[in-house]
Amino acid sequence: MAMTGVLRPGHVALRVTDLDAGVKHYRDVIGLMETGRDAQGRVYFKAWDEHDHHSVVLREADSAGMDYMGFRVDCEETLERLAAAVEGSGLATDLQWIGAGEQLHTGRRFRFTVPTGHAMELFAHKDKVGNGMPDVNPDPWPDDLKGMQPTRFDHCLLYGDDLDGTVKLFTEVLGFQVAERVMAGDTMVSAFLTCSTKPHDIAFIRHPEKNRFHHCSFILGSWGDVLRAADIISKKDVSLDIGPTRHGITRGETIYFFDPSGNRNEVFSGGYIYYPDKPVITWTVEDLGRAIFYHDRKLNDAFLNVHT
């Protein structure tokens, strides 16, 4: 599979109501590395095996939630082409170019709002800071890692009303593919979209309100690492949502918890390798409990209805 066009999720910008508490959570509990602070008061983080300067941006605000999610594309020419395609599609609103340097160590970004109401960005440049190890004869991991030790920011799950329009934009304009979906008869309830070889790089659930944030997720190496994350959640007295358990959708092993402001986080491992010729996996709402939580096969009201 040639990795061209949109390469991967590049960053997520989150609002927290207490910046100091948020910094401690994402740094000491999840184990992200702080890489900078800017004049606007935003704090930047990366997971240890990411080479880009940052993948998570926190800012203090009156309410929790997501400001925007950004995707890295392969070059400036692709950025220009996809920006023109998004504009020409008629599916996005609030289109704007944001100049280089507005976000630390990041080139210009093209921002737009998708039909579910979420702000998305495309960018082609972010400074590389490395993963703490040399490119020649490296060790498996660097010393002095903290917390759950995820290797990267992986995906977001978002809630919004116009799921069909958003899926059309991501698939027909940005080149994503639907790896899995949940159907209620002929109506798509949720879509798991990939631009890579992962089961999903972003996912959406149909919901009457626009622009709702369900969770951001970070990848771990193994099921044992998910169990260790559960120990850290208990040890640090973090608010637990559900898990450890397994998803039917994506096959990932997972645990969900909340940051001090109420934003939901996930760490997970596993899942399958996706290639473009793989058939779309379809789940029906009648089996939604098993699709979401494969072990106990029951829906959790808080998981479905708590979002920021």
102 a catalytic residue: no
Catalytic residue, from 155, 207, 214, 307: name it: 155
Concerning whether 105 is annotated as a catalytic residue, the answer is no
- Which of 247, 253, 274, 307 is flagged as catalytic? 247
Which one from 200, 207, 214, 307 is the annotated catalytic residue?
A: 200
Note if 215 is an active site residue: yes
247 is catalytic: yes
Q: Which one from 215, 253, 274, 307 is the annotated catalytic residue? A: 215
**Which of 53, 266, 274, 307 is labelled catalytic?**
266
Is residue 200 annotated as part of the catalytic site, yes or no? yes
Residues in a beta bridge with 122: 71, 110
Could you give the residue numbers annotated as active site?
Answer: 155, 200, 215, 247, 256, 266
